[in-house]
Chain A
């Protein structure tokens, strides 16, 4: 008695059919010698597929070492992807800029009126000739320049550098995102069969 089951469909009905279909397929195997052989061999094959050799000690060690490897990989990230390092780098840049600007300011000639303070009686007796301002490293000194002006200039420069760092970080993040997207797209094509 075949119960209307095609032998060619026996295995698929047994494996992916609804519970009642599976039962019918199982009953069919009890009556059809050919499907009985297939059933027996298929069960052996399934057991074989499920079988897993014990994991070697070496592979277990590799698994455990992944914890440390992952930490090292994180440390090896580009600095803009590692928040702590990024902050340290930004602070170092800022300190460098401040130091450079301070050095630059200290080398600048003092304002004219501070170098030659006017004393009323001397001015009266012998007026000094006008001395042109000294040009240091191509910087023309304006007689009216003062510390507040320098500080404002310095502040503007720091802000400009901050913006540049922010732009570069954003650019790097965009590049990284694009690379990740490219990888995903590439992998997606592999999933379509």
Chain B
């Protein structure tokens, strides 16, 4: 594969999946600044893998990208040696127009429900619903069994049900 085709494929990835990656990172980091930093790291990792001569063709680019994004997020957390990366920071969404107040309220409710979950459960919920990964893909990304993913998801849903009632 030539360099120019790599470059165009790389650019196409951000056009197709960039917003989903950023949404996933926003949910995981809960902090726009950190999410942008991790997003940049994801770009570097993706391009690095593009430069590998033996790179296999991408069968499921979305799952691949979400996995890279999740791993980059974990590395960021590990680098800070604390989950306090997830500290609440004023969200830019507070500036939403008045007409979108209802949607913003719902968004806040959903985010609040997710925030209350333990990190392990939250990551499963975010990867599965925000990242759009199947249970199997989520298990692969988190390097745990599919049964564990299901168990964590069930616990998370049980807690979220109380918020939704």
Interface of A with B (CB < 8 Å)? 8, 10-12, 15-16, 34, 37-38, 41-42, 44-46, 48-55, 59-60, 62-67, 69-70, 73, 186-187, 189-191, 193
User: Are B153 and A15 in contact, with the CB atoms below 8 A?
Assistant: yes
Inter-chain residue pair count (beta carbon < 8 A): 114
User: Are A59 and B36 in contact, with the CB atoms below 8 A?
Assistant: yes
Contact with B78, one of A70, A73, A187 (Cβ below 8 angstroms) = A187
User: Are A70 and B48 in contact, with the CB atoms below 8 A?
Assistant: yes
User: Are A66 and B47 in contact, with the CB atoms below 8 A?
Assistant: yes
What range describes how many residues of B lie at the interface?
35 or more
Query: Beyond the given A45-B110, A50-B130, could you list 7 further A-B residue pairs with CB under 8 A, ordered by the A residue number?
Result: A11-B158, A37-B165, A42-B160, A49-B114, A50-B129, A52-B22, A60-B18
Q: At the interface, is chain A mostly helix, strand, loop or mixed? A: helix
User: Are B132 and A48 in contact, with the CB atoms below 8 A?
Assistant: no
18 A-B residue pairs with Cβ-Cβ distance under 8 Å, sorted by A, are A8-B158, A12-B153, A12-B154, A42-B161, A46-B129, A48-B110, A49-B110, A49-B126, A50-B130, A53-B22, A54-B19, A55-B18, A62-B40, A64-B10, A66-B40, A67-B7, A67-B10, A70-B51
User: Are A62 and B39 in contact, with the CB atoms below 8 A?
Assistant: yes
User: Are A63 and B160 in contact, with the CB atoms below 8 A?
Assistant: no
Minimum CB–CB distance for B79 against chain A, Å: 9
Contact with A69, one of B44, B129, B165 (Cβ below 8 angstroms) = B44
Question: A49-B110, A70-B47 in contact; A59/B39 too (CB < 8 A)?
Answer: yes
B43 within 8 A of A: yes
Q: At the interface, is chain B mostly helix, strand, loop or mixed? A: helix
CB neighbours of B110 from chain A (8 A): 45, 48-49
CB neighbours of B61 from chain A (8 A): none
Minimum CB–CB distance for A177 against chain B, Å: 18
Most buried by B among A42, A59, A65, A187: A59
Give Cα A179 to B109, complex, Å. Answer: 43
Contact with A50, one of B18, B132, B164 (Cβ below 8 angstroms) = B132
CB neighbours of A65 from chain B (8 A): 43
Question: A46-B129, A63-B43, A187-B78 in contact; A53/B154 too (CB < 8 A)?
Answer: no
CB neighbours of B135 from chain A (8 A): 16
User: Are B44 and A66 in contact, with the CB atoms below 8 A?
Assistant: yes
